[in-house]
Amino acid sequence: MSLALKSQRFRAERESDWLRLDDLLKRLEAGKRKDLSDEDVIALPVLYRATLSSLSMARAISLDHNLIAYLESLSTRAYFFVYGSRATMGERVAAFFRRDWPAAVRSLWRETLISGGLCTLGALTAYTLTIRDPAWYFAFVPRELAGGRTPRASAAELAKTLFSGDKDGLSFFASFLFTHNTQIALFAFALGFACCLPTAFLMLYNGLMLGAFLALFISHGLGWAAGGWLMIHGVTELFAVTLAGAAGFRIGWMLCFPDRQSRFAALAEAGRLAATVMAGVIIMLAVAGLLEGFGRQLITLTPARYAVAAFTALVWGAYFYGRGLRR
């Protein structure tokens, strides 16, 4: 049998599938996805695999080069619709905020409780020690970061640091704080690979600094004002750092105890989940940086600061856990 006859017979037996696949691809490429019926959607991968089979056979028996080129082109076009991403960038961003990020945070609820618990333990420890003996303050707060907030400062001097309305350099201040807080969160996440221990110490130390700070102001009768000064951005910032620690704990735990999966598979799964959480943590830190650099300086009334803090707590709580509670 001649090569031309073989090619003609080969085409006649399979051409209907190729034409149908080509028609479906043209409709998809034209953006007419809604025009496809359920049968068309189900048929697409079947026709794609049939075309691949035809291409393999055409190459094996050395059929017409034009036919092989046509099948290669058809297979390549179909591949991107069968296995490629079928969502636009906007759709993927919307899916991240609508579904992926909240679901990832909810799945880390145990690690979040541990991370938050360590921070709380550190805060209570430092508060108890500092309120009894102010000399403990510098054991938890570096002198270069304390500024004018020291046990030797008067109540008036401490109050001035809480209610200063100076707006000069706020943009730079916000950028600096955002970078600083991002580094803390990234370290808490990255150090989880060392079997969770460095992340645990970092969460504990973060709480120690917080507890010593609160003890200083409470001992001068400024506890209510200091709470508003801190929480206007602290709700978002501390929650973001807590989530970063939770992501680090998940990776460290999977490294040590992969359960029934292989260690590599467990780490890969934990890494994808943690990366989703960390992408959202960066966004939260950006919001915290703006609140710390701008909102806290522009809003000087303590009740208004608490109102902003309560609003952010409500928003984050409803966003991350509201759907889970409804379920």
Taking the C-alpha atoms of residue 159 and residue 127, their distance in angstroms, rounded to an integer, is 19
Instruction: Give me the mean pLDDT over the 249-271 stretch.
Output: 87
- What interhelical angle do 223-256 and 170-190 show, nearest 10? 30
A 10 A CB-CB count for 206 gives: 21
pLDDT in tens, 265-280: 888 889 999 999 999 9
What Å distances lie between residue 319 and 123, 279, 308, 325, CA to CA? 26, 16, 16, 11
- Above pLDDT 70, what percent of the chain? 87
* pLDDT of 151 higher than 50: yes
Indicate yes or no: pTM above 0.75: no
CB 188, CB 241: distance < 8 Å: yes
Backbone angles phi, psi at 85, to 5 degrees: -70, 130
* Amino acid of residue 95: A
pLDDT in tens, 50-69: 998 888 888 877 667 888 88
Distance CA 153, CA 165 (A): 20
Distance CA 287, CA 308 (A): 12
pLDDT of residue 167: 47
- Residue 173: predicted pLDDT: 45
Structural domain boundaries in the chain:
3-86, 91-326
The confidence band for 170, taking pLDDT boundaries of 50, 70 and 90, is very low
For 84-88, 99-103, 127-131, 289-293, which range has the lowest pLDDT when averaged over its residues?
84-88
